[in-house]
Each structure stands twice: as C-alpha cells, then as structure tokens.
Amino acid sequence: MSDGWIKTCNVDDIEPEDVLRFDHGDRTFAIYRTGDGKFFATDGLCTHGKVHLAGGLVMENLIECPKHNGRFDYTTGKAKGAPVCVDLKTYPTKVEAGTVFIQPG
Amino acid sequence: MAVEISKRDYSLIGKDSQLAEAMGLASAEWYACPIPRKRLKELMQRKDGPAIRDTLLWFALLGLTGWLGWHFWGTWWCVPAFLVYGVLYCSCSDSRWHECGHRTPFKTTWMNDVVYEIASFMVLRESTPWRWSHTRHHTDTIIVGRDPEIAVPRPPDIAGILLGFFSLRSGPKEYKKVLLHCFGKLTAEEKTYIPEMEYGKVFLTARIWALIYAAVIAWAILIHSILPLMLVGLPSFYGAWLLVIFGLTQHAGLAENVLDHRLNCRTVYMNPVFRFVYWNMNYHLEHHMFPMVPYHALAALHEEMKADSPKPYNGLIEAYREIIPAILRQVKDPAYFVKRELPASANPFPAAVPEAQAAH
C-alpha cells in the first residue's frame, strides 16, 4: 500500500483489550486493540527478553510481557519499570474498511 | 549408567556461562503447553481481593503470634509462639516476595511493590538484586552458568543444604552484600544481571535495611534482651526451615540445561494451610511456564495443563521420596538426574536436549 502502510489484520481479529502478533518480512510487530476500539502498534518483541509481547496481558493501556512481567505503555512505548528499562518503538495505525494498517517506517 | 562429566561451573562469569551461550541455552525459547488464548487471558486476569484478604490474614497472624511471643517471653509458652511467628515472618515471606516480585497477586501495582519490599526484608533478600536475579532465573531456568538461583548445584553440598534450613549459609552472605551495597559497591556477578540504572536503588535499600537493623540492635542493648531481635532479624534464620522444605521441591534433582519446564520443575499437591503459606507456588511447573498467571489462578491453570504435563506429586512425602535419594546419588554421581515422564496425551519433550544426551 502507498506511503508505507501495511495491511495487518481485520478489526475483528483482535478482541477488545487484547493484542495480536503480526510478522512482516523479518520484522515482528504487536497490534493492540483498546477496550474502546482504538488500535496501536509496537515492535513485537520485549526490549528486555526478546519475547513476543503478543503472548502477554493487555490491561488498559499496558502490555505485560509473558516471560518476566515487564510492562510497557503500548500507546507511547514507554517502559514502566523493572525488568524493562528500554522503551518500545511505536508505529502509526489506521483502520480502513474494517482492516487495520500500520506504518512501520 | 553414570557418565563422566566435567565439573560444572555454576558461577555466572565462568566457563559454563560461555558454554550455555554457545549452545543456544541462554535466553532461549521454551516449550509452552497449548492453551487457547481466550482461556489464558481469563487465567491471567488480576484481582486485588484474594491478595488483600490473604495479606491482612498474614499480618494479623504475624501480629498475634508476635504478641504471644512477647507476652510469654521467659516461659516455655513463647517457644510455640515464636515457632509459628518465625514461619510466618520468613517462610511465608518467601512466597510473598516471589509472587509480588512478578507483580501478579494484586491488580494494583503499588500493593505488589509494598508487600514485595516488606517480604524481601523479612526473608532476607535485598529487593532489587533479587528481583533481577529472579528475572534471570525465569529466563534461564536451571541453565548452568546462567541461573543464579540453582538451589542444589551438583554435586550437592549436603552440609550446605542442612545449614540452609536456618539460613546459616545464605544469611551471612546476604549481610555481607548488604554491607557492600551500603558502601556503594556490587559484586562482579551482580553486575552481570543488574542494570546500572538500578544501582542507586540497591544502595538506598541496603542503607535503609542497615538503619532498621541498627535500631533493633540498639533497642535490644537498651533493654538488655534479645527479644527485639526475636521479632525482627532472627526470624529470618529460625523461621526459614519451611521455606527450604517447600523450595527444594521446585527443581532439586531434576534436569539441568533443558528448555522445557516439564523436565525441570515439579508440581506438588499440598493442603490448604501449606498453600496459604506457599501462595500456591507448589504449582511450580505452571508458574514457570506461564508466570503472568496470578497465584490464585494456578490451580485452574494446572487443570488446563495437566494432560500435557508429567504426573504431579501427591504431597511433600511423595516428592521427597524422589528428591532425597536423587540428591544423595548426585553426591557420588553428579551426572544423575530424575527424568520426568509424560502421559500419553502430552506433546513430546523437545528432542536432543543436552542433559538427556549427557546422562542417558
């Protein structure tokens, strides 16, 4: 798609307050859906243990890593304390005709 | 048949550490039992209620038994009071330290952090270094040269294990570290798993601990009695025995250097009192495989996993019938380990794990 937007999944593929793994080429992303239907995207691996965040738990604006329970604010990428110290990269998202797109840059 | 293996180096800066990295055992991908995402999400949900109830009960029992010990001091009646107080102070703190370190028991983050700091002090584990040490334990569970929390390195040190029942080996070592941290220094091993940005927190906590101990010692000197130390400080030693009895069931005698928690963790059924003290950490395989599931959901997680897991142990006696002979055999034969068996319904263990190759 133009301007670097990539089709990832359908809106209904992710439950409210949940996360989905999306692989593209050699990169992996995590796509989040908030309780009120907004979508966000970050790098797919935890910056601490290189574990897929899509196996973790979404709690409001936080994603908890399934391996060491490190937490990030997935709307900003901010690391929220030990054992995660390095922020996540975030990416723009948009929804068109029921499809979620990200712009990985 | 025993196989000759070279002596393992359990330090985090030795040859086995490099070997683990070279063999792909460091920060590796581990097996996970297949559980539908929807069910796992239900199990991961956080609540404040169960942990608030359990914590209030714990503090109430601590207060009551501490008061009884104080009240009956100088009579034999203080002995059972301090026996229970010590277990609540130290052994109970082990599981609270552990669970709150994962920040899963309470939904509210600060509640996890407050209980974590209190429990860390009582079980005599500095909060920040041990948070990072435990993080590594989950990354590299029982990987030699990577896991700083291997309770029974091979060949087992029987005297060391026995001293552990009263923290007589780990306690003095921990105090030395507290002192070191008070002076703004860390050990070389600690530097391998504690990030530099956390150093300030380590030093601050050590200094607060030193002040608390100084105050309690001053109080004891002032009243010419060890009674204050019976309430704060000494219970970390005389109350540790149950922690060790529970803790050894987690991994002792099982495989090292494998990437499947079904091979190196035990789940042991326990009665409700023990499960209160241990905060369900008897479901240890379940905890290691899915550490984001809070303690109050581990029994339910066990139901989801058991068809894909080795048979659990029906109580401490059954577990120790395996652990004690295994440890004794490892004294003479460090290559020996207990190989867990899976039910027919389970996915097979990963092929060609290094430990399995070494001993079978």
Instruction: Report pLDDT digits (tens) over B1-47.
Output: 334 456 789 998 889 999 999 999 998 889 999 999 999 999 999 99
The reply to whether B41 touches chain A by the CB within 8 Å rule is yes
- The pLDDT-based confidence of A50 (bands split at 50, 70, 90) is confident
Percentage of chain A lying above the pLDDT 90 cut: 84
The one-letter amino acid code at B262 reads R
Which residues of chain B neighbour A18 with C-beta distances below 8 Å?
Answer: 37, 41
The structure's pTM equals: 0.90
Instruction: Report pLDDT digits (tens) over B125-134.
Output: 999 999 988 9
**What distance in Å separates residue A18's CA from the closest CA in chain B?**
9
Q: Where are the domains of chain B?
A: 15-359
pLDDT at A105: 80
Instruction: Report pLDDT digits (tens) over A58-82.
Output: 999 999 999 888 999 999 999 997 7
Report the residue of chain A nearest B288, measured CA to CA: A67
Q: Do B44 and A57 touch (CB under 8 A)?
A: yes
Which residues of chain B neighbour A55 with C-beta distances below 8 Å?
Answer: 32
Q: Do A69 and B198 touch (CB under 8 A)?
A: no
Pick from B30, B31, B10, B5: which is nearest to B20 by CA?
Answer: B10
The lowest-confidence range among B165-179, B233-247, B336-350 is B336-350
pLDDT at B354: 53
For the residues of chain A, what is the DSSP string, one character each? -GGG-EEEEEGGGS-TTEEEEEEETTEEEEEEE-TTS-EEEEESB-TTT--BGGGSEEETTEEE-TTT--EEETTTTEE-BTTB-SPPPEE-EEEETTEEEE---
pLDDT at A41: 98
CB contact set of B355 (below 8 Å; sequence gap of 6+): B255, B256, B257, B258, B263, B337
**Residue B143 pLDDT greater than 60, yes or no:** yes
Our count of domains for chain A comes to 1
Q: What is the CA radius of gyration of chain A?
A: 13
Report the length, in residues, of chain A: 105
Report the length, in residues, of chain B: 360
> Residue A68: which of B37, B46, B135 has the nearest Cβ?
B135
Best mutation target, A60, A67, A71, A73, to test chain B (most B CBs within 10 A): A67
**Residue B105 pLDDT greater than 90, yes or no:** yes
At residue B164, the 3 state secondary structure works out as helix
* A37: CATH: 2.102.10.10
Orientation of helix B109-123 relative to helix B127-139, angle to 10°: 100
Mean residue pLDDT across chain B = 93
> Residue B198: which of A68, A71, A82 has the nearest Cβ?
A82
The reply to whether A73 touches chain B by the CB within 8 Å rule is no
The one-letter amino acid code at A69 reads N
Alpha helices (runs of H) in chain B, residue ranges in sequence order: 15-22, 37-44, 49-71, 78-86, 92-102, 109-123, 127-139, 158-164, 170-182, 190-193, 199-223, 227-231, 235-238, 241-251, 261-264, 272-278, 284-289, 298-305, 316-332, 354-359
CB contact set of B260 (below 8 Å; sequence gap of 6+): B30, B31, B349, B350, B353
Mean pLDDT of B296-314: 97
Q: Which residues of B260-296 are buried (b: 16+ CB within 10 A; e: fewer)?
A: bbbbbbbbbbbeeebbbbbbbbbbbbbbbbbbbbbbb
pLDDT at B360: 38
**What distance in Å separates residue B138's CA from the closest CA in chain A?**
7
Which residues of chain A neighbour B198 with C-beta distances below 8 Å?
Answer: 82
Which residues of chain A neighbour B44 with C-beta distances below 8 Å?
Answer: 57
Mean residue pLDDT across chain A = 93
Mean pLDDT of B100-120: 96
Tokens of B116: 């974590």
Nearest-angstrom CA–CA distance, B305 and B262: 10
- By the 8 A CB rule, do A42 and A88 touch? yes
Mean pLDDT of B323-341: 96
Find where tokens 């683990």 sit.
B20
- The pLDDT-based confidence of B345 (bands split at 50, 70, 90) is confident
Q: Do A66 and B291 touch (CB under 8 A)?
A: yes
What string of H, E and C letters represents the secondary structure of B64-89? Answer: HHHHHHHHCCCCCCHHHHHHHHHHHH
Mean pLDDT of B280-309: 97
- By the 8 A CB rule, do B119 and B130 touch? no
Tokens of B5: 């293996």
CB atoms within 10 A of CB A80: 16
Q: Do B44 and A69 touch (CB under 8 A)?
A: no
Write out the residue range of the structural domain in which residue A96 sits. Answer: 2-102
The lowest-confidence range among B36-45, B204-213, B300-309, B348-357 is B348-357
Report the residue of chain A nearest B27, measured CA to CA: A49
pLDDT at B189: 87
- The pLDDT-based confidence of B244 (bands split at 50, 70, 90) is very high
